[in-house]
Chains A and B, each alone.
Chain A
Amino acid sequence: MLDSKIPAGSLEKKWTDYKGHCKLVNPANKRKLEIIVVGTGLAGASAAASLGELGYKVKAFCFQDSPRRAHSIAAQGGINAAKNYQNDGDSVYRLFYDTIKGGDYRSREANVHRLAEVSVNIIDQCVAQGVPFAREYGGLLNNRSFGGTQVKRTFYAAGQTGQQLLIGAYQALERQVALGNVKMYSRHEMLEVVVIDGKARGIIARDLINGNLERHFGHAVLLCTGGYGNVFYLSTNAMGCNVTAAWKAHKNGAYFANPCFTQIHPTCIPVTGDHQSKLTLMSESLRNDGRIWVPKKQNDTRKANDIPEEERDYFLERRYPAFGNLVPRDVASRAAKERCDAGYGVGTTRQAVFLDFRFNLINKYGRAEASKQGIADPDEGTLIALGKEVVKEEYGNLFDMYEKITGENPYEVPMRIYPAVHYTMGGLWVDYELMTNIPGLYSLGEANFSDHGANRLGASALMQGLADGYFVIPYTIGNYLADEIAVKPILTSHEAFETAEKKVNERISTLMNIKGSQTVESFHKRLGKIMWEKCGMARNAQGLQEAIKEIQQLKKEFWSDLRIPGGTNEINPELDKAGRVADFIELGELMCIDALQRNESCGGHFREEYQTPDGEAQRRDDQFMYVSAWELKGEHQWELHKEELKYEEVKPTQRSYK
């Protein structure tokens, strides 16, 4: 039943063969075909722009006031590509292999190989658009390294890579808007998918300024609506990130895949108190130059700089000598948690470890700069001053951000960091063509479950979003739309639109009429707490069972005691948020069910019952080598469908970064 539609043939040829044989739509027909793109992050903006260029009639939607503000803008560290510009042995195969291994052997070989293949085109495309990537003095593109790899393949623009890539895609999108190929709907939220005769044919969107509901037809609908990390309340995601669009698709029959695969990022600024509304990432690229440590003594209250070298435990370098500070995120996060739980944490809350730049400020950058400037025998102060200048260029904005938030100067004292929810590998189930199990409904970017298995490697989300939007969907959608050219645009007076709009309307009035006493925010916080404690960095069967009951209870309370101020036909952020939190509550339950079902540890999913004697994740390939794809059957009821994963190229082994 679950057909991933992976093309036959050898791994390296699948995508080329597919492109050579897929159906095409001729230019005159493209003009008659309408496509709805929900979301204008890297995935949505690149898709909308590329499809507009091809001649399709595109409508694009986002809930922010401009497509340029999608959450992709916040990505910091970089984007991977198998260019091998550093001549350090990189190749398409190596990027493919690292991604499969990094994902702990829970992703599809064919998808990942395609991703690695098109990665090189992405960089060319972005450079042509004017994305100002970092460059060497010779004028060529520069690279840095990220976790889970031993080559330097990450392209970057200081600590603002996502911003620069998104601005590139946004500008391409605005160009298509100017040409009349794309119509943009900002401050609009999609609240329902319209399915007619089994095919996705449109959406219901709400104008967030006046509250009006709108009906939009499309021959196909693309959901590029990002990840659902905010189910945990606190995460590194932007405040508005949500699961609503994907969840509406799920409620209309689309399968939700691997919902429990969440990524906890090791280097984020720790929580300070109850007022906290979000957590801020300190890019993984900092692990290139920062060394992570805790004191060797438990409950050591000395300031970092007062703790001598021999009393510091560089626990990642100690446990994983081959990869050191550059182990993948799941591994680094768990190691930090282990140290803190054992009583070695630092800072007032003891829930933090140090990320220290001093060593590289002096030894790497300071010395290089000193020798460049011909300073013989520089003292430590000079080396630090010289090193600072270089570090400022590489990460200046991140250091500034850290200082603004904490009031501490990271050039002088080590950063305090702790793991935080960051990314969701799970998402809508899609086949090789990025189509969900509902024909004509696609999902791109973080919103789908595809390429990252149980753990995503750093700098691979930007790559996947742009691969999906620029280089995959323009081909795969043609293969579907070629058979749709005879379909005339369906009038939005069709009863399916009527029913869908009515459903949305009723839900909004139900929410508004609860008139209870508790705020949306308070429910969201409680959900987050359950998820973090019982479905977070470490999970066990008992905790998950408890969580499911607690979430069901929370849902009841939400629908009977919620208070939303204001009205429906005006700007009402509380109402917008209420709809999103209602969906998060349902998703939270499914995440726990999925985590409970997966009786193994893999990647970001760590079940305490399944670990090796030295505390590493214990996969159980004989039983769990599959994608779990959940079908909604009724309230609190889901049916599990399994997509078996077949490894033809790579031989799964226990992941080792030692």
Chain B
Amino acid sequence: MESRSYMEHYSMNLTLKVWKQKNADSRGNFETYQVKDISSEMSFLEMFDVLNEQLIREGKEPIAFDHDCREGICGMCSMYINGRPHGPWHGTTTCQLHMRAFKDGDTIVVEPWRANAFPVLKDLVVDRAAFDRIIQAGGYISVNTGVSVDGNTIPIERENSEKAFAAAACIGCGACVAACKNSSAMLFVAAKVSHLALLPQGDVERKTRVLGMVAQMDKEGFGSCTFTQACEAVCPKEISVMNISRLNKEYLLAGLSSEK
């Protein structure tokens, strides 16, 4: 990321090639748009706001895209920008990407996430409900409300707690899937398996959890992991592929013991 103590701001004109698709059943195509006087201080989605306002005024259809928090935490935004999920900045969601990443005269190509398990609903909007179903298959600790012991009863080694936190930072955006040539959801699943396996509270269900979640991942039509590590490179929360190794270990152990 570009950073100076006091930034000079500039304005730019850009060409955008954006994927347009009416709905899940229709075929899509790229449309070309021009935007003018875009400030380097804008966020990438604010640039899209400007374009959409312009399109509405011209009586044309605006571009549908998902977004909500615009703070890089809800995981809703999901644009594939110039061949990279979430665009050029490392560890950054689409909504946190700012226009100073681009310069006057640039052409920017924007597509939706592409994966069989994430069907396009319209333009840049995809259906990621498969991720919720993977969580339903075991991504939790089975504890009912109101039956827990005092929070400090079980001390947790700070290192493990930090590792669990780092894995739990996943925002469920799906960039890892979009970046993977096999459309594997391994990094997402591994992040959840690791988060819970690293904590004593998650220990009891660790076997059923990993088996259930992996089975659901396969069922949803995500591809298998060949460890290209493309996922880690684009993950906005910098979730480490070490989690995938941990998942593999958990899976192996669970498989072995369930064969008995």
Chain A interface (Cβ < 8 Å from any Cβ of B)? 46, 49-50, 53, 64-69, 71, 73-74, 83, 85, 121, 123-130, 132-141, 157-158, 160, 163-164, 167, 170-172, 174-175, 177-178, 184, 186, 209, 238-240, 272-273, 275-278, 280, 303, 400-401, 403-409, 412-413, 470-471, 474, 517, 519, 521-522, 563, 565-566, 570-574
Contact = CB atoms under 8 A, between A and B. Distances in A.
B252 interface: no
Given A125-B143, A130-B196, 6 more contacts: A141-B151, A177-B136, A186-B129, A404-B72, A471-B146, A522-B53
B73 A163 contact: yes
B41 interface: yes
A53 B145 contact: yes
A46 B145 CA distance: 9
B185 to A, nearest CB: 14
Nearest to B134: A174
A168 to B, nearest CB: 9
A53 B164 CA distance: 26
B122 A160 contact: no
A130 B67 contact: no
B43 A129 contact: no
Contacts of A570: 22-23, 122
Nearest to B59: A565
A408 B98 CA distance: 13
Interface string B218-252: 00000000000000000000000000000000000
Contacts of A49: 145
27 contacts: A46-B145, A50-B144, A50-B146, A71-B69, A121-B146, A129-B201, A130-B141, A130-B195, A130-B196, A133-B161, A138-B155, A163-B73, A167-B168, A175-B142, A177-B136, A178-B136, A275-B39, A303-B6, A401-B96, A405-B98, A407-B4, A408-B7, A470-B145, A471-B146, A565-B56, A571-B23, A573-B64
A275 B57 CA distance: 16
Interface residues of B, number: 87
Contacts of A136: 158
Contact of B1 (A170, A404, A573): A404
A474 B147 CA distance: 14
Interface in B136-195: 136-137, 139-152, 154-158, 161-162, 164-165, 168-169, 171-172, 195
Given A167-B168, A407-B3, A573-B64, A521 B73 contact: no
B70 A277 contact: yes
A574 B56 contact: yes
Name which of A53, A172, A407 has the most chain B CB atoms within 10 A of its CB. Answer: A407
B148 A124 contact: yes
B155 to A, nearest CB: 3
Contacts of A571: 23, 64, 121-122, 125
A137 B157 CA distance: 7
B158 to A, nearest CB: 5
Q: Is the interface of B mostly helix, strand, loop or mixed?
A: loop
Interface of B: 1-7, 22-23, 39, 41-43, 45-46, 49-50, 53, 55-57, 59-62, 64, 66-76, 89, 91-92, 96-98, 100, 121-122, 125, 127-129, 131-132, 135-137, 139-152, 154-158, 161-162, 164-165, 168-169, 171-172, 195-196, 199, 201-202
A132 B70 contact: no
Contact of B158 (A139, A164, A563): A139
Nearest to A210: B23
A470 B129 contact: no
Given A132-B168, A276-B46, A519-B57, A73 B96 contact: no
Given A164-B168, A238-B70, A171 B140 contact: yes
A172 B199 CA distance: 16
A576 B32 CA distance: 26
Contacts of A175: 136, 140, 142
A388 to B, nearest CB: 15
Contacts of A566: 61-62
A135 B161 contact: yes
A470 B122 CA distance: 37
Contacts of A163: 73, 169, 171
